[in-house]
Amino acid sequence: MYEFKEVVKDVFVMKAPFSIVWTGVTLVRGEKNFLIDSGADAPEVYVIPALKKLGVDITDIDYLLNTHCHGDHITGHFDLVSKYGLKVATYAGGVGALTDPASNAVRIRTRFPEHSPAPQSWLKGVDPDVILQDGDILEGRLKLISTPGHDTDCVCWYDIPTKTVITGDSLQGGGTPTQGIGFYQSLDDYEQSLKKLSALDVENIILGHEYDGLGDFIIGKEKVKRALAFCSELTEKYGALIASYVKEGMTDDAEIAVRLINEVGCGMPEKLFLPLYTVTEHRKRLGI
């Protein structure tokens, strides 16, 4: 049975299955209880049973939050709101994607149609009850940090008492086997987000998946520092390799993506649309 496990004091994570990887659902307990992300399945499948095993009823959740609005992170939102009446708090920059995640999926999955699966047209959105700006603190506990790059609406939630950052997919490391490499839709934004996180007083990081070179949880200031540096160094490595491939005469983005994955990736994805975003961002930066 899937269950929430305490990672740091009063911060629990459940690894809900998603494809060949997992998606993290985080519970922050205290005077108010926060559920961050809801996984890729109906909440009755994993989230609610895991909460009950911990002694938490779904009605004990004061706020339902999200790190971004991709299907593997917010599929459960609709049922949690429509069936159980959970209150939703979200980032102002992600309201459109939260209310209409299906259109958001279409946007992502139609840029490279030959290399993309069908959009998740079945995704259902929810309306937020509380809309937060970058830097706002929810109930004196969780600070919202806008960290675009992977997508425009990506945020991290900074748990003030434990100095723990729940990052979702804001930190990519070397990617997951379903991506092959780190996936960001904006290289500029991703780099700025890494700098932003590096400037914070962070002692722990909770990731949304198990990322190559990062793992799942990063505990301790020095490990946090090394992890952020690793993400930054990897973007430079991608850029240098892509530049060398083009210099050799490679011009096809898909061929470049496959070669990059074979050299420094963590698994060949069935579809190349995610690494293609990364490759094209670097080629744009390099002017090639």
| pLDDT tens sequence for the chain (288 residues) | 799 999 999 999 999 999 999 999 999 999 999 999 999 999 999 999 999 999 999 999 999 999 999 999 999 999 999 999 999 999 999 999 999 999 999 999 999 999 999 999 999 999 999 999 999 999 999 999 999 999 999 999 999 999 999 999 999 999 999 999 999 999 999 999 999 999 999 999 999 999 999 999 999 999 999 999 999 999 999 999 999 999 999 999 999 999 999 999 999 999 999 999 999 999 999 999
In single-letter form, the type of residue at position 38 comes to S
> For residue range 226-242, what is the model confidence (pLDDT) as tens digits?
999 999 999 999 999 99
Radius of gyration of the chain (CA): 18
Residue spans per domain, the chain: 5-286
Measure the CA–CA gap between 125 and 61, rounded to whole angstroms: 19
Helix (H, G, I), strand (E, B) or coil at 87: coil
Helix (H, G, I), strand (E, B) or coil at 189: helix
> For residue range 4-58, what is the model confidence (pLDDT) as tens digits?
999 999 999 999 999 999 999 999 999 999 999 999 999 999 999 999 999 999 9
Q: Are 187 and 194 in contact (CB under 8 A)?
A: no
Q: What is the pTM (predicted TM-score) of this model?
A: 0.97
Inter-helix orientation angle 273-286/253-264, to 10°: 100
In single-letter form, the type of residue at position 139 comes to E
Measure the CA–CA gap between 259 and 190, rounded to whole angstroms: 23
Measure the CA–CA gap between 63 and 131, rounded to whole angstroms: 12
Which architecture does CATH list for 5-286? 4-Layer Sandwich (3.60)
Measure the CA–CA gap between 254 and 78, rounded to whole angstroms: 35
Of 182, 200, 181, 202, the closest CA to residue 190 belongs to 182
Measure the CA–CA gap between 279 and 183, rounded to whole angstroms: 9
Q: Are 186 and 280 in contact (CB under 8 A)?
A: no
